[in-house]
Amino acid sequence: MSDEVLSELSAEEWLRSFADYTRYAEGKRGPLNRGAGAADVVPGVYPDWHYDALAIRCLLKRVLDQQQEIERLSERVRALEPDHE
């Protein structure tokens, strides 16, 4: 993430920025994802930060997907409601 003010980003912009920031951590190995051979080195602010970062990204994506589904279903309900005049 660059110098954007996070509070000024939409959820979609935040997710896209966070995805770019954490992309290189995908598939890395460490104590929680050992794999074969030595653990990959993922530089960060604390050990295994990438697991937390990827979990946050996954959670936010799920929330956004659910939000979009709620909006889609709300539109369908509005389309089915009789006009109130």
pLDDT tens per residue, range 3-54: 567 678 787 887 788 788 777 777 776 655 656 555 666 666 676 777 788 8
The predicted model gives 64-71 an average pLDDT of 92
Distance CA 45, CA 16 (A): 21
Helical pair 49-80 and 11-22, crossing angle rounded to 10 deg: 150
Q: What is the pLDDT of residue 73?
A: 94
Q: What is the pLDDT of residue 40?
A: 65
Q: What is the pLDDT of residue 1?
A: 44
Residue of 24, 58, 15 whose CA lies nearest to 44: 24
pLDDT surpasses 60 at 85: no
